[in-house]
Amino acid sequence: MREYNLTLTIKKDIQYTAGLALDWYQPQGRSLKGLLIAIHGGGWFQGDKAKDADVAQWLAEQGYLVVVPNYRLAPSYKFPAPLLDMNRLFNWLQQNAPQVPLAAIGASAGGNLAVELGLNYGIPAVSLSGILDIAHWLTTHPAVVAKPRQTADLLDKLDSAVINQAGTDESFYKWFITNYVTDEQSRAATPYQHVSSASGPMLLINSLDEFVPITGVARLSQRLTQVKVPVETISLTGSRHGKAYFDEVKANILLFLQRYLTKE
């Protein structure tokens, strides 16, 4: 995943809206297959665009222009701040790369934001362990006590592929969701609540016994199927979360993009 043979132009810290920047990865010597928005995870409260440099470079090596944005983080900026940032990013890209077909990809909280872009703008979206079940999960887990992790402040120093790999942790899952949304906002923050026939095709990937409940994949895919929007799902054995299984699903991601990311 760290061997790059294609010449890339990499531009760092391009401002796309006030106070927020993106990194730009562009392959040289071939026509672009499309533009991918790669969104970092971190429970909406941590993380940075630099953590997805490996994913961005690999995707650029496949012939895609890739942008990796930062977005505002909780608790200073709660729902819907990151979604508004992604809307601003989408509008910025429409101005700065108007002829390139768009798709979004992200893991964990980044998967949530990628799916939201797909729902809002009808573009293809790839979610790796996206946080998709919010309102229903909170309603059905009232006895779970929300607890932060003692080492949460150290997670920014770790590679994303080694974070949250120990399986379920309902207390921490509840903590970072309620750190991001209020009870009153939970329905609006749940992606499958606003699926429509104009939603974009989705590739939803999750491990069966991991940190993020797979119930979100089931509920979102059901809603998309009901309105006849293409959706593909991959359920993996074990407890790997997000980028930890990225290498295993690379081929699936490329086939999905080849199928649905086309010029109009």
At CB < 8 A and 24+ separation, what contacts does 120-123 make? 120/87, 120/90, 121/90, 121/200, 122/198, 122/199, 122/200, 123/200
Q: What is the CATH number of the domain that holds 36?
A: 3.40.50.1820
The total of structural domains in the chain comes to: 1
Residue 113 falls inside a structural domain? yes
Q: Evaluate whether residue 211 is within a structural domain.
A: yes
Tell me what pLDDT residue 42 has: 92
Task: Please check whether residue 38 lies inside any domain of the structure.
Answer: yes
Phi/psi of residue 84, nearest 5 degrees: -65, -35
Structural contact between residues 46 and 155, judged by C-beta atoms closer than 8 angstroms? yes
Q: How confident is the chain (264 residues) per 10-residue block, as mean pLDDT? A: 65 98 92 95 94 96 97 97 98 93 97 98 98 97 88 51 63 94 96 97 96 95 98 96 95 98 67
Q: Which domain holds residue 185?
A: 8-260
Evaluate whether residue 189 is within a structural domain. yes
Rounded CA-CA distance 80/246 in Å is 28
Could you tell me if residue 3 is inside a domain?
Answer: no
pTM over 0.85: yes
- Which residue in the block uniquely carries the two structure tokens 């429509």? 196
User: In angstroms, rounded to a whole number, what is the distance separating the alpha carbons of residues 91 and 167?
Assistant: 37
Q: Edge-to-edge, what's the strand order for the sheet holding 34-39?
A: 8-17, 20-27, 64-69, 34-39, 102-107, 125-128, 202-207, 231-236
Residue 2 maps to a domain: no
Residue for token digits 């429970």?
Answer: 43
Domain membership of residue 216 (yes or no) is yes
The sign one gets for the Cα dihedral 76, 78, 84, 90 is: positive
3 state DSSP class of 264: coil
Among the residues of 31-181, which ranges form H helices? 53-61, 81-96, 109-121, 135-140, 170-178
Count of other CB atoms within 10 angstroms of residue 131: 29
CA pair distance 164, 151, nearest whole angstrom = 12
Q: Is residue 1 part of a domain?
A: no
**235: β partners:** 206
